[in-house]
Amino acid sequence: MTDKKIKVYLQYPWKFPDSPYYKYLIDNPPENIEYLNIHKQKGVIINKRFFWFSNFLKRNIRRFARVSSLSIPNAHLSSEGNYDLIHCCHCLSKNKDKPWVTDIESEWQLYLGNRTKKVKEKIKKIFLDKNCKKIMPWTKATAEEIIKEFPEIKNKIEVVYPAVPVQKIKKKKHQGINLVFIARYFGAKGGPDAIEVFDYLAKKYDNVRAIVVSDVPKCILKKYSKNEKIKFYGPIAQKKLFDEIYAISDILVYPGYSDSFGFAYLEAMSFGIPIVTVDGFSRKDVINDGKTGFVIPRPEIKWAKKSFLINNRPFLIKELIEKTEVLIKNKKFREKMSKKCLKEIQTGKFSIKEQNKKLRRIYEEALK
């Protein structure tokens, strides 16, 4: 490793980036790496109106692209400046004079609009360009997706797992066991099912309470208003989330039906919180089933407007309840899982140390 400082320009696909991935990257850079274009990075949008507007804008841009039969690569031109390398944030680069790398959460991020043969050829051409030095999927599942579509670039692909820092916030002592569900998109992440599980378990066990942090519909709030052991919050600031919610939580129940990754998993693990979830894209690459949480087999799930149609939903709810009960009733097993969660963040594949070691090497190799 050299002592030369490398200036890396972060190229975002949206004007208002709000992924925790880049907040943690900027706050914990690899040794001798200086990130540029970081002033717009919000990390996590917490203002409710801005949060709504940002999500509305992104969702409708993609919807318009699909309906209008638009089909172009999700590629962007970086501003000119004094930097050595471009790191594209789940997008591609149009630049012809600088080497670049990209991180990809899921293969669909390569496209804006419909996936046609024509746009696929354009993306392949971008990937094969000499300035494209490395494609960094977040998980093995994403790597397999990209290789299947573009086998010609297999040698440019290397999985680099996202990372979160070790928490400085200490867990707070509290009575009983707190179940928690935290999500930006309530329905898509399985909020209705998590709350049904909470309602059942909070009534069954005197020492169990539940916390929900999400934009919960009024009809759901009304439905469970009589259960005073479930506490509801809307979207809140990350500091408050960490200080007041994660710090007193014991088990994360998070179905995560639409997730291609899910930072809630990593943030929970950073507090030593075991997870109960439902299998999905890259899920077992994130959760070590039986070690850092439980991954329930995925039933047939179909998207319907703003919610999901789940085949044999009562069986799924039963499975979520049973796995959560294992952790409620077995304190030693829960504590064992908690330690494994912490280890994954401290020294495992989701550690800042592991991520930075890979990134520094990849940046150096890109400049050779």
Give pLDDT, residue 26.
93
- Rounding to the nearest 10 degrees, give the CA dihedral for residues 174, 180, 184, 188: 180
Residue 248 and residue 172 in contact, taking contact as beta carbons nearer than 8 Å:
yes
Decide the pairing of beta strands 301-304 and 307-310. Answer: antiparallel
Give pLDDT, residue 166.
92
User: Which H or E element spans position 182?
Assistant: strand 177-182
Give pLDDT, residue 62.
56
Using left for φ > 0, alpha for ψ between -120 and 50, and beta otherwise, residue 197 falls in: alpha
The percent of residues above 70 in pLDDT, for the chain, comes to 89
Q: Which residues pair with 10 in a beta bridge?
A: 87
Give pLDDT, residue 14.
72
Report CA torsion sign: 308, 312, 317, 320: negative
Q: What is the pLDDT of residues 148-193, one digit of tens each?
A: 999 999 999 999 999 999 998 889 999 999 999 999 889 989 999 9
Q: Where are the domains of the chain?
A: 6-163+351-366, 177-346
Report the C-alpha gap between 163 and 225 in whole angstroms.
Answer: 37
In the predicted structure, residue 362 carries a pLDDT above the cut 50 = yes
Report the C-alpha gap between 286 and 163 in whole angstroms.
Answer: 11
According to CATH, what is the number of the domain 6-163+351-366? 3.40.50
Q: What is the pLDDT of residues 44-75, one digit of tens each?
A: 444 455 455 455 555 555 565 555 557 789 99
Average pLDDT over residues 200-220: 97
Report the C-alpha gap between 109 and 89 in whole angstroms.
Answer: 10
The two three-digit tokens of residue 144, written as one number: 């397999």
Report the C-alpha gap between 50 and 184 in whole angstroms.
Answer: 13
Report the C-alpha gap between 294 and 144 in whole angstroms.
Answer: 24
Model confidence at 85, pLDDT cuts 50, 70, 90, reads: very high
* Residue of 109 and 362 predicted with greater confidence: 362
Residue by residue, DSSP assigns 277-313 as EE--TTHHHHS-BTTTEEEEPP--EEEETTEEEETTH
* Residue of 134 and 112 predicted with greater confidence: 134
Distances (CA, A) of 44 to 54, 241, 264, 287: 11, 11, 12, 22
For 314, residues 6+ apart whose C-beta sits below 8 A from its C-beta are none
6-163+351-366 and 177-346 share one fold: yes
Superfamily of 177-346 according to CATH: Glycogen Phosphorylase B; (3.40.50.2000)
Using left for φ > 0, alpha for ψ between -120 and 50, and beta otherwise, residue 220 falls in: alpha
Instruction: Collapse the DSSP code of 226 into the 3-class scheme (helix H, G, I; strand E, B; otherwise coil) and give the result.
Output: coil
Give pLDDT, residue 359.
98
